[in-house]
């Protein structure tokens, strides 16, 4: 029983990440009608915002110690962290909390990246076929990941959660679970809630929803829908970036992270139904949990290798049974 509970928890934090990525992706579909293959890259960029923040906070001053030599004969380096030198224990705490701090940094950075992407590239592809959109954003994803690789290298760079959140907590007695994963689950719920509330209860959100439903009519009403859609793109970039930054203590980021999540996030969106926000969220959590269960030996002994293919299998079955995904609307992205 404990094992089942742990796998459900596990599916929830995994699903949180899937849902956050899919949320932004489906928002972009629904509003801009653009198939964004660079969305995984935005997640990856968010993760590297966290890496950079950590790197900046733990910048070191290097002094050479001529009395000690390295094995290759140069003077040994003495490294001190600048933040600690300047702020003492506060500096140490700041470094410890680099991941939460990076969320604050990620918001403006990702907004800027999102706006540049939309104004600089995506807006020219609104009227182009979906195939062109897929291809140009795929190219962009390659470019972004290669730039990250040139700066940060190809190895994974692990990030640690703040010491106070790094341990485990007892979810119910006897079932311990990593604290940071619980934090991530609640973080994802908060963000999802905030986005849905924003779309539901603000005038801006109302216009965006109206635009998702019938873009032309809203345009005819004299509302500048383009401007709002630009902001929606920025919003999606922020969501993906924050999701990436917060995920770094769970999964050590490397430059390929975006591509690893790309296929998965599309499967989530398609299973949920293109352009449906509740669908994307539900599909994210469902696929996360199914993936966790498929990894259990009790399941694997009957279906060897099921954990390798479960996500795709579910996608195929759902699409055949429910042609527009769980909550998709008619006519979206079918041509």
Report which secondary-structure segment, H or E, holds 61: strand 60-69
Q: Is 86 near other proteins (CB under 8 A)?
A: no
Q: Which is nearer to other proteins, 150 or 206 (CB)?
A: 150
Helices (H) and strands (E) in the chain, counts: 14, 4
Alpha helices by DSSP H, listed for the chain, are 2-32, 39-57, 82-87, 89-96, 98-120, 130-152, 179-201, 203-213, 215-220, 225-247, 257-272, 277-294, 297-300, 306-321
- Least Cα distance to 325 among 274, 281, 288, 282 occurs for 274
Q: Pick the piece of the chain touching other proteins (CB under 8 A) from 192-200, 215-223, 252-260, 277-285.
A: 252-260
Q: Is 40 near other proteins (CB under 8 A)?
A: no
Q: C-beta of 1: minimal distance to other proteins in Å?
A: 9
Q: Is 128 near other proteins (CB under 8 A)?
A: yes
Tell me how far apart the terminal alpha carbons of the chain are, to the nearest angstrom. Answer: 46
Q: C-beta of 187: minimal distance to other proteins in Å?
A: 16
The size of the interface with other proteins (CB under 8 A), counted in residues, is 87
Q: Which of 67, 72, 127, 302 binds other proteins (CB under 8 A)?
A: 72
Give the tokens for residue 310: 């479960």
Q: Is 334 near other proteins (CB under 8 A)?
A: yes
**Other beta carbons within 10 Å of 120:** 10
Q: Is 183 near other proteins (CB under 8 A)?
A: no
42/48 Cα distance (integer angstroms): 10
Window 265-304: contact mask with other proteins (x via CB under 8 A): -xx--x---x----------------xx--xxx--x---x
Q: Is 67 near other proteins (CB under 8 A)?
A: no
Report residue 332: phi and psi, to 5°: -85, 125
Window 131-160: contact mask with other proteins (x via CB under 8 A): xx-xxx-xxxxxx--xx-xx--xxxxxx-x
Look-up of token digits 């966790």:
292
Q: Which of 40, 162, 249, 279 binds other proteins (CB under 8 A)?
A: 249
Are the C-beta atoms of residues 106 and 99 closer than 8 Å to each other?
no
Q: Is 252 near other proteins (CB under 8 A)?
A: yes
Helix/strand/coil for 34: coil
Q: C-beta of 167: minimal distance to other proteins in Å?
A: 6
Q: Is 104 near other proteins (CB under 8 A)?
A: no
Q: Is 167 near other proteins (CB under 8 A)?
A: yes
Q: C-beta of 278: minimal distance to other proteins in Å?
A: 19
């Amino acid at each position: 029983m404990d094992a089942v509970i742990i796998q459900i928890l596990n599916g929830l934090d995994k699903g949180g990440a899937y849902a956050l990525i899919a949320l932004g992706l489906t928002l972009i579909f629904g509003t801009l009608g653009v198939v964004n293959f660079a969305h995984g890259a935005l997640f990856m960029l968010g993760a590297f915002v966290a890496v950079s923040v950590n790197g900046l906070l733990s910048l070191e001053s290097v002094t050479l110690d001529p009395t000690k030599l390295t094995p290759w004969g140069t003077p040994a380096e003495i490294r001190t962290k600048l933040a600690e030198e300047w702020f003492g224990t506060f500096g140490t705490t700041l470094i410890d909390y680099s991941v939460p701090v990076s969320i604050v940094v990620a918001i403006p950075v990702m907004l800027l990246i999102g706006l540049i992407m939309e104004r600089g590239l995506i807006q020219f592809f609104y009227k182009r076929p979906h195939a062109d959109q897929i291809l140009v954003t795929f190219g962009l994803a390659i470019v972004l990941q290669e730039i990250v690789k040139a700066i940060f290298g190809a190895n994974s760079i692990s990030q640690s959660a703040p010491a106070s959140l790094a341990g485990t907590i007892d979810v119910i007695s006897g079932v311990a679970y990593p604290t940071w994963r619980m934090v991530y689950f609640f973080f994802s719920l908060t963000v999802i809630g905030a986005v849905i509330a924003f779309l539901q209860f603000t005038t801006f959100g109302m216009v965006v929803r109206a635009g998702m439903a019938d873009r032309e009519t809203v345009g005819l009403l004299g509302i500048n829908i383009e401007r709002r859609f630009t902001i929606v793109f920025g919003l999606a970039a922020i969501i993906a970036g924050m999701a990436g930054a917060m995920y770094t203590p769970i999964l050590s980021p490397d430059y390929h992270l975006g591509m690893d999540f790309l296929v998965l996030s599309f499967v989530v969106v398609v299973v949920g139904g293109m352009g449906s926000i509740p669908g994307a969220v539900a599909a994210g959590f469902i696929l996360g949990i199914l993936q966790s269960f498929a990894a259990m030996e009790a399941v694997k002994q009957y279906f060897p290798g099921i954990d390798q293919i479960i996500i795709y299998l579910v996608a195929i079955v759902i699409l055949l049974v429910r042609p527009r995904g769980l909550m998709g609307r008619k006519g979206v992205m079918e041509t």
